[in-house]
Amino acid sequence: MIYSVGIDLIDTERIGRALDKWGESFAKKILGIEEYEMYMQKFNKVQFLSGRFAAKEAVIKTLGAFFERRINFKDIQVLNDLYGKPYVHLEDNLRERVLDKEIKVSITHERKMAAAVAIITGD
Ligand SMILES: CC(C)(COP(=O)(O)OP(=O)(O)OC[C@H]1O[C@@H](n2cnc3c(N)ncnc32)[C@H](O)[C@@H]1OP(=O)(O)O)[C@@H](O)C(=O)NCCC(=O)NCCS
């Protein structure tokens, strides 16, 4: 069954401006450790960061049904499997609230936009 859905759309120029202004500390504020390692390998860092930003916002929206307090971006990591398909890794403080449910996410990016959809599924 699907419990909830979240969606987000990001203007990549906005992310580019934040990176110009704050530098790497902006990326480090958004990305978890494994995501940051992926980011460092990317040629198009603005596109990658925009996709992750959209994915995290989409996950936060779908988690809204489960949480009242503020959620830290770094506690939601969106990694890629062997085929490039994104999957969500939650840090323990979030995972314990979602328990047996699964969060699925899909990301797309264009030159000026990135978007993501997330859903929570379970029995
Ligand atoms: C995977 C594919 C759909 C991506 O589409 P695209 O138009 O090139 O790029 P988009 O910007 O829309 O999407 C990119 C995002 O798709 C996601 N993605 C990549 N591979 C994926 C897969 N196998 N399944 C689901 N999502 C995938 C990733 O999140 C990626 O962003 P990220 O690398 O920043 O995490 C496209 O490369 C494709 O059709 N490939 C052919 C099929 C294929 O390679 N399948 C995987 C091997 S079985």
List pLDDT tens digits, range 6-21: 999 999 999 999 999 9
- What is the reported pLDDT for 100? 84
Domain extent at residue 103:
2-121
Split into its structural domains, the chain has a count of 1
> Quick one: pLDDT at residue 65?
67
Treating both helix axes as pointing N-terminal to C-terminal, what angle do 33-41 and 45-63 enclose, rounded to 10 degrees?
150
- pLDDT tens string 54-66: 999 999 999 886 7
Question: What's the CATH code of the domain at 95?
Answer: 3.90.470.20
**Ligand 1 and 85: CB distance under 6 A:** yes
**Are the CB atoms for 59 and 107 separated by under 8 Å?**
no
Whether 43 lines ligand 1, by a CB cut-off of 6 Å, is no
Q: What is the mean pLDDT of residues 86-90?
A: 96
Substitution candidate for ligand 1 out of 50, 80, 119 with most atoms within 8 A of CB: 80
pLDDT tens digits, residue range 97-117? 787 899 999 999 999 999 999
Q: Look at strands 86-90 and 76-80 and give their pairing.
A: antiparallel
Residue 52 in contact with ligand 1 by CB distance below 6 A? no
